[in-house]
Amino acid sequence: MSTLPGTQTRALWTLALFTAIQLADGALTAAGIAQFGPHIEGNPLIDLLARGVGLGGAVVGAKVLAVCCGTVLHLQARHLALAVLTVGYVLAAIVPWMIVLTLVR
pLDDT at 45: 86
Q: For residue 79, count CB atoms less than 10 angstroms from its CB and return exposed for 0-12, middle for 13-18, buried for 19 or more.
A: buried
Dist. CA 35–CA 12, nearest whole Å: 35
pLDDT at 82: 95
By the 8 A CB rule, do 32 and 101 touch? yes
By the 8 A CB rule, do 93 and 23 touch? no
- pTM, two decimal places: 0.85
Mean pLDDT of the chain: 89
Is the pLDDT at 59 greater than 60? The verdict is: yes
pLDDT at 27: 95
Q: Each residue of 11-49: b (16+ CB within 10 Å) or e?
A: beebbebbbebbebbbebbeebbeeeeeebbeeeebeeb
